[in-house]
Amino acid sequence: MEKKITLIVCDGDQNTRVDTFINKHNKEISRTRIKNLILDQNLKINNKIIKDPSKKLMLNDKISIQIPEPKKTSLKPFNYNLNIVYEDDDLLVINKPAGIVMHPGAGNYDNTIVNALINYDKELSTSIGDELRPGIVHRIDKNTSGLVVIAKNNFTHENLSNQFNKHSILRSYQLLIWGKLRPSTGRIETFITRSSKNRQMMEASLTKGKKAITNYKTLEIFENKNTPTLTFLECKLETGRTHQIRVHMNYLGNSIVGDDKYKKKFKKIKNIDEELNNLLLGLDRQFLHAKTLGFFHPKKNEEMVFTSNLPHELDIVIKKLRKLNN
């Protein structure tokens, strides 16, 4: 059912952002959902349509926001076996395999994690966050595997979103890159912005975009007469920008093995072990896995940390490299 919220700005709320103000006085919808409603021209301040979520309010302003009925037909259930690591009344943590996208988008509106969640939990409301991304707090790329947390209600969604915005979430990834890094442990700090050459890609910049910080640590280096030089890394994120690790590795000149966007052209390597060569050529994904996810539970107020082992297709590559390195 379509709903309308009407509020008056009282003393103490002036100079507050309008999205923050609405969220403060109505906890039924998340700030993310409010922001999207405003961008879709559903907000009026003093009977004038406002499209800026950051608009500052004045005393006695009349706020009116229209909440359209969720587009239930826009999300079709997808019969997909979710790998659920943890679940309670407020959230669930899933271990996403490579090959499936998180939410509907151009070219794929049906076979996504969101559609699988709708199929799994019929009570999952499209009003949690964005109606096409219900419950989604953060994302990992289609061809990246690993841990993702999903919110089941707006309170949890808002709380977890704030933790991500404050960069207090623990996120570590394991990856395999071409070459090796010097120093072997370090910190990459740049801005990340959309590529001017390809709008589907991002690029590192020293002057524009959003700040991105990646901390890396070398776990193992593989190099001998039968293997190209490859490095197994752990990366911990301080920020969560689109394609952040992939962009930062490419920025250093050490792209991730199997990355189809941010890569150096793969050339046949002389004297490479045949089995290893077939394993590397056979990867239909980037060698990037979200291994660790930690956050404070919004209701229990206790720290929760989850870990996930490398999936089989990545694990066999590492085992083969270790065998060749001995």
Q: Which residues are catalytic?
A: 141
Q: For the chain, count helices (H), then strands (E).
A: 7, 16
Distance CA 155, CA 29 (A): 8
Residue 119 in contact with residue 76, Cβ under 8 Å? no
Residue 95 in contact with residue 145, Cβ under 8 Å? yes
Q: Is 66 helix (H, G, I), strand (E, B) or coil?
A: strand
For 259-297, give the DSSP string. -SSS-PPP-PPTT--HHHHHHHHH--S-SEEEEEEEEE-
Phi, psi for 120 (deg, rounded to 5)? -75, -45
Q: Dihedral of the CA atoms 139, 141, 109, 152 (nearest 10)?
A: -20
Distance CA 277, CA 226 (A): 10
Whose CA is closest to 233, among 188, 295, 294? Answer: 188
Residues in the chain: 326
Structure tokens at 126: 């499209």
**DSSP H or E stretch at residue 233:** strand 227-237
* Sign, Cα dihedral of 48, 52, 53, 54: negative
**DSSP H or E stretch at residue 105:** none
Residue 33 corresponds to which amino acid?
A: R
